[in-house]
């Protein structure tokens, strides 16, 4: 009889206790965020000691990635310029809040990784805002700038690892949301 009900549940697509996706260990988001924050801060430290603001770009992967030192006292595309500390405190609150959320409300593996990326980006830029009063940016993409110039939008902004984590994580979160919406509802 149990075999019959098990087969029926599988055929009808009714989830069972064994169907649940395993969650990542509670320390995983902290490890992911910590490694990304460390990489972000290391690249920013390298940029501060090896690049000079206002100097020509230094090619890293010619035509794809250049190093150009610049600073931002606001948010993306220099919005809210001059508001580094309030923005830094907001970013720190969001980053730590996301980590707390993942800790107390475990998510799927994919969503946990995505939220860890966003958290790392928020905290990475918050560290700069609190420590320096500005965010250090150094990654320039001539390829992306060619696209934005073709769209009459000027050069693509210079960014850092933390920015990439926030933008990439947000895009992945949107994709995950659309993919989850396509699954049949029982």
Catalytic annotation, residues: 137, 163
Share in percent of the chain as helix, strand, coil (round to 5)? 60, 10, 25
Rounded Cα distance, 88 and 164, in Å: 17
What strand order describes the sheet that includes 58-61? 58-61, 65-72, 135-140
Which residues are registered as beta bridge partners of 33? none
Q: Which residues contact 108 (CB under 8 A, 6 or more apart)?
A: 21, 23
Q: Are 76 and 157 in contact (CB under 8 A)?
A: yes
| Residue position matching structure tokens 């939220």 | 115
Residue 176 buriedness (CB in 10 A; 0-12 / 13-18 / 19+): middle
Round to whole Å and give the CA distance between 64 and 152.
Answer: 20
């Amino acid at each position: 009889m149990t075999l019959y009900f098990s087969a029926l549940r599988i055929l009808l697509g009714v989830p069972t206790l064994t169907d649940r996706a395993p969650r990542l260990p509670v320390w995983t988001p902290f490890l992911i965020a910590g490694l990304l924050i460390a990489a972000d801060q290391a690249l920013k430290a390298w940029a501060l000691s090896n690049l000079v603001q206002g100097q020509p770009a230094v090619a890293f992967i010619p035509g794809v990635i250049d190093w150009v030192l610049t600073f931002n006292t606001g948010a993306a595309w220099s919005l809210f310029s001059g508001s580094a500390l309030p923005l830094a405190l907001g970013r720190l609150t969001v980053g730590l809040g996301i980590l707390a959320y993942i800790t107390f409300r475990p998510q799927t593996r994919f969503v946990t990784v995505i939220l860890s990326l966003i958290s790392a980006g928020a905290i990475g830029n918050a560290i700069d805002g609190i420590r320096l009063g500005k965010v250090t940016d150094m990654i320039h993409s001539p390829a992306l700038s060619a696209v934005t110039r073709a769209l009459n939008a000027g050069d693509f902004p210079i960014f850092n690892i933390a920015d990439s984590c926030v933008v990439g994580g947000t895009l992945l979160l949107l994709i995950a949301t659309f993919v989850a919406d396509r699954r049949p509802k029982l």
